[in-house]
Structure 1
Amino acid sequence: MTCSVAFVGAGPTTIYTLHSLLTERPAPFELTLFEKQPSIGRGTPYRPGWNDPAMLSNIASIEIPPLAETMVEWLHGQSDERLAKLHIGREDIDDRTFYPRLVLGEYFADQMQALLEEAARQGIVVTVRTRCEVTDAVSSPEGMILHVQPQKGEAFEARFDHVVLATGHQWPEHPEVSPGYFASPWPASEIEKIAATRVGIRGSSLTAIDAAVALAVAHGDFVETEDGDLAYMAGPDTGSFQMTMLSRKGLLPEADFYFPIPYEPLAVCTSEAIERLIASQDPSLLDRTFELFKRELAEADPAYAKQTGLASLSIEDFCEGYFSQRLGSDPFVWARDNLAEAQRNYEKGHVVAWRYAILRMHEVIESIVPYLSDEEFGRFSRHLKTVFVDDYATVPHESIQRMLALHSAGKLEVIAVGEDYTVDTHSPQDGAILKQGASETHFPVFIEATGQRALAAKDFPFPSLRDQGIVRDVSTAGENAPARGIAIDDQFHLVSAEVPIDQLFCLSLPFIMGRHPFVQGITSSHELGRIVAHELAAAIDRHCAPNDAAGELTAR
């Protein structure tokens, strides 16, 4: 008996899940990919129109988990003509380089085609349905029923034994939700239409940098100076063009720092040590985890531990101290100095031990999150999470150079707004008004650029799964409790007695961010896809086994 599998969404998460699934070599099955866009493989972060050619990815080639070939192998295999179209010189190909998002999109599109060819060789019947939006999903005893609306033609329903939801980020197709107010910086093609005026940008991370770059290249050019620096040359009639990033702390992200790949093993704060803490069911799980964190840092970098007085610090004290020096400096002065340090370390292959230790710990410590009370989850989110995010969400050196160039040209500033401020988007004026105490600042254009936030069950795009009680929020202590996403288990099954255990998997990133707060793109797609692929391969083999063993699975 042949079973049927559907992936809803055909971006990098589906690519890595399918890659792992084919590696497991389950019994042949029928595979259908549904994708709203005209082509498959690129996903929202890497497709044309959604991104400007100037937008850089924040993952180096060496960090991209390989598929049929690595990113660098793929680049070397391209013709000179295609490399020219991608604005890449063959001599510049390097595994530590950060390439434009659109280049990654081309890589993933080619890798998807290679995967589908491999699937066919394994006897898998593949159907690709592009320009088809899945509008709803219903669990039934016969399987998962998907409601599909093609861009052309009548809506239809299709039944599948197993469905993987990999719908990716949730952004509006038309970001200008009211005059001058943009709910996101994508598609870039819409942001680039903004006139040369005063623009407020909420956020200062890579998402905000994307918005600033899209606006900058629409109204001028980045040019290399004789001494090798980067400068920004504003176009004509752009005197009123000026951008202000609103940051809680008033900081820019730091420049990408050098570290060995693959990661070196941790000595103290290991997965095994964290698992033992979780098993102990100690209500002070977060603080005990922080003790492991401190011990790991001290072993990795004794000088840093001594300098910071690490041994005696609480979570709150450590996190305050982590940012204290930067908070006392002008953000652009700090950015210039930090960039110079990062460039020197890259040239020497020098590793800043404490930075590298924090980087390696974030994914290990993430596993405690489902076991934290709402109060402790709040502490984790306000303090320790901010350190981890700052450490891993560094940006390409060229991104920092662009921010410095814009600032030198008088086109960019960063201001600290703290926690006690509001942004009024309902005034009669276009854009938004920043209110800080008695002070008000009007921005004729305002862009939300704080990145993807965790979404709740009410935002889930398939209403019948909510109505059936299959998709629900992680239970919380009250209305003011922090958002923690929808209820899933460690294998990304929806936690519900209303659906068979292997019928539905959720890898839609915004809805699993409560349980996986550091889910951040390609590396996460690889890790999550590997877990789901293993579960899915076993389910396919059960379904194809004699006596229909799959039908004997109990609901949960």
Structure 2
Amino acid sequence: MTVPAPNNIAEHYAGMNPTIAFVGAGPTTIYTLNALIDHASVPFNLTIFEEQAGVGRGTPYRPGWNDPAMLSNISSVEIPPLAESLVEWLGRQSNERLVRLGIEPCEIDDRAFYPRLALGEYFVDQLHALIDRARRKGIDVTVRTNCKVIDASSGPVGMTLSVRPKRGPSFEQAFTHVVLATGHQWPAEPEVRPGYFLSPWPASALAGIPPVPVCIRGSSLSAIDAAVALAVMHGEFVEAADDMLSYTPLPGTDAFAITMISRKGLLPEADFYFPLPYEPLAVCNREAMARLAEDGGGDLLNRAYMLFRQELTEADPDYARRLQVAQLDLEGFAERYFAERMATPTFAWAESNLREAQANYEARYTVPWRYAILRMHEVLETLVPHLNDEEFEHFSRFLAPVFIDDYATVPHESVKRMLALHRAGKLDVIAVGEQYRVDSHTLEGGATLIKDGERTHYPVFIEAMGQRALRAKDFPFPSLRRQGVIRDVNPANGDSPSRGIVIDDAFHPISEDIPEDQIFCLSLPFLMGRHPFIQGITSAHDMGEVVGERLAAAIGRCHDDNATLVERTAA
């Protein structure tokens, strides 16, 4: 494809406002639109396409997709504010609405965790406020719900979207700029075989599961969500006097029990107290990572780990001495980090860790080593695109699990629920290591766990490992694959690890065949090879800031080109 000179693009759109499309209307679009409105100085036409009947929630916060009992794992203080913070929004809601959302009005706090559906309603209101603000600035906004974008293709002067409405004929529409923000990618029907579920979402799909033994592969937040959804179908959690919970099964549910399996057999730890905004790092910071990436030397991951180790030692000398961090290479540190927990019964550790986290919250005390690792995960992530394949595999196997364990803590209420289920004899967590197999093609349905020569059949088996990184072949817009705009960092037919699609730091797919700023890809599963920790609301905000500012600059250039063309024509 031959890209025309910039003046041809201007001539094509002479006298027209730039046209921008957002595909998807969840938090990523909301934060990108917020940044775009902040930075835009000239009017433009905006169309938002959403497959669902309403806008703003995105998959993680949508009714039906999530059970009302499911909690978000981000507190108000961590959510970047839009027109208002989450706590401010909650504070002006009626008691009736709060109770409907499962929130006690007297317990609203910026450090509290709220049901996912409550965050969904917050984001709906924030998007509508953003649209009103955009229109007041002269931006022409069209919202098209119940419209599925089934394809996108790149041309020399814009993008063409193929759209299939829920009602009415399909159509195509061209735009100067497109932002793909399609979010997580899960199967629409998770029960792919009787009793075997490829994901725990939508939660409504689990509603028909009878009170039978259930196995959940995974033990992180996704698995906890599945366990909670099942538990409230077959019983109820009851507040106890000691600030704990008990679980009361419904009559006729004696056979109901959940087994979570994971390599290490660990539950996530309880959310810990830390100050925001982040305090600066002394050694292992972004500037140090930039110097490592620029100096061209080898052994990049190991040199970064040396800085990680030094920062951790300076932040918490007692922890460093206890683990003997100074003597540990990367593999050794990863093993030592998990060793004490793996040697302790899972639920005993969970109960002790919960008490510690509760006490630290009460005292507003920050555990230094936890906070240091938390801040460093975003710093080390900036180095990932510069690692060679061997280093990337090493990072993914050893260091990434440490970071994920540290930042993917869960609400205290979630830990209480897991403890309550265990005390009621309804939950166990077992470590299966690396050498096991799951046979999901059984005549009796569900799946069979095969470990050390033993076979254990479960009538229901749920995969709950969270979103995995996807390759270009899974990209939902086939024309962009055929055009070579969307392609893998590493070919799928090689032995190299999957590292996502080829994008730059501004989230453009890298291709010589498309003009600058024509397309931005913010679809999370395809970015995780370059940005392995990119899931969540804070990531949506950070991506939105980058893309919103770039879009505003592109709109300004288009406006200036039009003005120049008009002057030239008049002359």
- Pick the TM interval, shorter chain: over 0.9
Partner of 1:536: 551
The code of the aligned residue for 2:402 comes to: V
Query: Alpha-carbon deviation of 1:228?
Result: 3.0
Give matches, 1:247-286, under 5 Å. Answer: 247-286=262-301
2:382 counterpart SS class = helix
Give matches, 1:19-30, under 5 Å. Answer: 19-30=34-45
Q: Does 1:82 align with 2:97?
A: yes
Give matches, 1:7-18, under 5 Å. Answer: 7-18=22-33
Question: In 2, Cα distance between the equivalents of 1:22 and 1:365?
Answer: 31
Partner of 1:231: 246
Q: Does 1:315 align with 2:330?
A: yes
Partner of 1:554: none
2:436, 2:452 within 8 Å by CA — same for their partners in 1? yes
Question: Which one of 531, 537, 553 corresponds to residue 522 of structure 1?
Answer: 537
CA distance 1:283–1:477, shift in 2 (3 Å): farther
Question: Which one of 156, 160, 174 corresponds to residue 141 of structure 1?
Answer: 156
Question: Which one of 427, 435, 439 corresponds to residue 412 of structure 1?
Answer: 427
Residue range with higher mean Cα deviation, 522-531 or 493-502 = 493-502
Question: In 2, Cα distance between the equivalents of 1:231 and 1:511?
Answer: 41
Question: In 2, Cα distance between the equivalents of 1:153 and 1:281?
Answer: 56
Question: Which one of 271, 276, 301 corresponds to residue 316 of structure 2?
Answer: 301
Provide, for residues 34-86 of structure 1, a one-character-per-residue CA deviation record: whole Å limited to 9, x for no partner.
00000000000001011011000000110000000000000111122222222
TM-score by length of 2: 0.95
Q: Does 1:218 align with 2:194?
A: no
2:361 counterpart SS class = helix
Q: Does 1:487 align with 2:487?
A: no
CA distance 1:547–1:154, shift in 2 (3 Å): closer
Query: Alpha-carbon deviation of 1:534?
Result: 1.1
Question: In 1, Cα distance between the equivalents of 2:80 and 2:293?
Answer: 29
Question: Which one of 214, 218, 230 corresponds to residue 199 of structure 1?
Answer: 214
Question: Which one of 351, 354, 358 corresponds to residue 366 of structure 2?
Answer: 351
Query: Alpha-carbon deviation of 1:422?
Result: 1.1
1:374, 1:477 within 8 Å by CA — same for their partners in 2? no
2:490, 2:498 within 8 Å by CA — same for their partners in 1? no
Provide, for residues 466-501 of structure 1, a one-character-per-residue CA deviation record: whole Å limited to 9, x for no partner.
000000000259633221111100000001112112
Query: Alpha-carbon deviation of 1:306?
Result: 1.6
Give matches, 1:433-448, under 5 Å. Answer: 433-448=448-463
TM-score by length of 1: 0.97
Question: Which one of 402, 406, 410 corresponds to residue 395 of structure 1?
Answer: 410
Provide, for residues 377-426 of structure 1, a one-character-per-residue CA deviation record: whole Å limited to 9, x for no partner.
00000000000000000000000000000001111000111111111111
Query: Alpha-carbon deviation of 1:427?
Result: 2.2
1:456, 1:485 within 8 Å by CA — same for their partners in 2? yes
1:165, 1:506 within 8 Å by CA — same for their partners in 2? yes
CA distance 1:483–1:71, shift in 2 (3 Å): same
Q: Does 1:472 align with 2:487?
A: yes
Query: Alpha-carbon deviation of 1:26?
Result: 3.1
The code of the aligned residue for 1:247 comes to: S
Q: Does 1:423 align with 2:438?
A: yes
Question: In 2, Cα distance between the equivalents of 1:83 and 1:53?
Answer: 13
1:485 counterpart SS class = coil
Question: In 2, Cα distance between the equivalents of 1:412 and 1:547?
Answer: 65
Unpaired stretches in structure 1, ≥5 consecutive residues? 551-556
Question: In 2, Cα distance between the equivalents of 1:276 and 1:312?
Answer: 25
Question: In 2, Cα distance between the equivalents of 1:166 and 1:527?
Answer: 14
Question: Which one of 458, 472, 485 corresponds to residue 473 of structure 2?
Answer: 458
Give matches, 1:64-143, under 5 Å. Answer: 64-143=79-158
Partner of 2:569: none
Question: In 1, Cα distance between the equivalents of 2:95 and 2:334?
Answer: 48
1:543, 1:549 within 8 Å by CA — same for their partners in 2? no
The code of the aligned residue for 1:334 comes to: W
Instruction: Tell me the C-alpha RMSD between the 2 structures.
Output: 1.2
Partner of 1:498: 513
1:374, 1:476 within 8 Å by CA — same for their partners in 2? no
Question: In 1, Cα distance between the equivalents of 2:450 and 2:430?
Answer: 13
2:26, 2:59 within 8 Å by CA — same for their partners in 1? yes
CA distance 1:85–1:477, shift in 2 (3 Å): closer
Question: In 2, Cα distance between the equivalents of 1:292 and 1:548?
Answer: 51
Question: In 2, Cα distance between the equivalents of 1:547 and 1:103?
Answer: 44
2:383 counterpart SS class = helix
Provide, for residues 84-135 of structure 1, a one-character-per-residue CA deviation record: whole Å limited to 9, x for no partner.
2223222211000000000000000000000000000110000000000000
Aligned sequence identity (%): 63
Q: Which runs of 4+ in 1 moved over 3 A?
A: 546-550
2:490, 2:496 within 8 Å by CA — same for their partners in 1? no
Q: Does 1:337 align with 2:352?
A: yes
